[in-house]
Chain A
Amino acid sequence: MSDVSDRVRKIVVEHLNVEADKVTEKASFIDDLGADSLDQVELVMAFEEEFSVEIPDDAAENIQTFGDAVSFLEKAVN
């Protein structure tokens, strides 16, 4: 379990108020974790803040699952 993945999971759990074990690699924020479109925008903002990166809108649109977020951020941080 990477450090990035832990930090992303923590944000998702806190923001969407879900159990940590529900946040699996393939879990979709909207379909599986109960997020609405505004939550999704907020998650992206929270990721930007946590990792001090800018996530452009077109990239943000492709972050649909927990796995998407982790792989994007792992690349962005390195």
Chain B
Amino acid sequence: MFDLTGKRALVTGASGGIGRAIAQKLADCGAEVALSGTRVEKLEEVASAISGKTHIVPCNLSDLEAVDKLIPSAIEAMGGLDILVNNAGITRDNIFMRMKDSEWDDVIAVNLTAAFRLSRAAVKTMMKQRAGRIIGITSVVGVTGNPGQGNYAASKAGLIGMSKAIAQEVASRGITVNTIAPGFIASAMTDELNDKQRDTILSTIPTGRLGSADEVAASAVFLASDEAAYVTGQTIHVNGGMAMI
């Protein structure tokens, strides 16, 4: 596909389904990849499945002090940073009227504030290099909304707005900033749906099936490539047509 030989990437949430697929595909295309997440054993498992060069840089993104150390440790491990994938995200779903302050704060902290801090640190290095790629994994619900996910939708919409703002600031320095908005992607979470829930979801997806993590990762590889240099401030929707925006 695209050649990422010599590029150094950091993927947050690399032990999850989509993060893992992104790390794997970036490595398949030649990139050196730093895998971040909270569960070290899971990250080691992901690393062992990747044939290219990997590093494990654990980080709890709800701990802002730890967040500030992540980019420096990735740079130390790889000698630089060309691609940042802000993939990690959490949900704390609740009906809006009942949503607790902590449910709101936790989701915003991990999904948006951590992405802000990581992007800020990454941009500094990328500016010096006169090249870089920042890719945020947002969600279709950041654009369409979803009942029970006021906090999550806000964080994902925030990621899109933030990316557009950064994209405008740093475009002249060879850095692109984009987001990918997956729709329903097959994962451990969707495996737990019953048949009725599954049918209801599928009826809203023209493609008639759930997406795969690999299909999201393919867009990440494209955005990370040199060929995507003229694509910035955009959101690629990978949702089987469930929302056409």
Which residues of A are interface residues toward B (Cβ below 8 A)? 38, 41-42, 45
| Chain A residues with CB under 8 A of B169 | 38
Q: Counting CB contacts under 8 A, is B172 at the interface?
A: yes
| Besides the known contacts A38-B170, A41-B127, A45-B128, 8 further A-B residue pairs in the complex with CB atoms under 8 A apart | A38-B127, A38-B169, A38-B172, A38-B173, A42-B127, A42-B128, A45-B124, A45-B127
Task: Give the contact-size bracket for chain B.
Answer: under 10
List which B138-175 residues lie within 8 A (CB) of chain A.
169-170, 172-173
Against A, the Cβ 8 Å flags (1 = close, 0 = not) of B171-191 are: 011000000000000000000
B128: chain A residues at CB < 8 Å are: 42, 45
Residues of B within 8 A of A38 (CB): 127, 169-170, 172-173
Measured CB to CB, the closest approach of chain B to A39, in angstroms, equals 9
Task: Give 5 nearest A-B pairs by CB, closest first.
Answer: A42-B127, A38-B169, A45-B124, A45-B128, A38-B172
A23 to B: closest C-beta gap in Å:
22
Dominant secondary structure of chain B at its interface with chain A: helix
Cβ contacts under 8 Å, A45 to chain B: 124, 127-128
Q: How far is the CB of A38 from chain B (nearest CB, A)?
A: 6
Q: 11 A-B contacts, Cβ less than 8 Å apart?
A: A38-B127, A38-B169, A38-B170, A38-B172, A38-B173, A41-B127, A42-B127, A42-B128, A45-B124, A45-B127, A45-B128
Tell me the minimal C-beta distance from B168 to chain A in angstroms.
11
Residues of B within 8 A of A41 (CB): 127
In whole angstroms, what is the CA distance A38 to B123 when docked?
A: 11
A interface footprint on B100-116 (CB within 8 Å = 1, 0 otherwise): 00000000000000000
For window 108-136 of chain B, which residues contact chain A by CB distance below 8 Å? 124, 127-128
Name the distance in Å between B131's Cβ and chain A's nearest Cβ.
14
Q: How far is the CB of A19 from chain B (nearest CB, A)?
A: 22
C-alpha spacing A38/B124, complex, angstroms: 11
Residues of A within 8 A of B172 (CB): 38
Q: How many angstroms from the CA of A42 to the CA of B127 in the assembled complex?
A: 8
- Determine the distance from Cα of A45 to Cα of B172 in the docked complex, in whole angstroms: 17
Q: Which residues of A contact B173 (CB under 8 A)?
A: 38
A41 CA to B128 CA, complexed, in Å: 11
Within 8 A of A (CB), among B54-95: none
A26 to chain B, nearest CB (A): 27
Q: CA separation between A45 and B125, bound complex, in Å?
A: 10
A42, closest chain B residue (CB): B127
| Alpha-carbon gap, A41 to B124, bound state (A) | 10
**Closest Cβ of chain B: how far from A52's Cβ, in Å?**
15
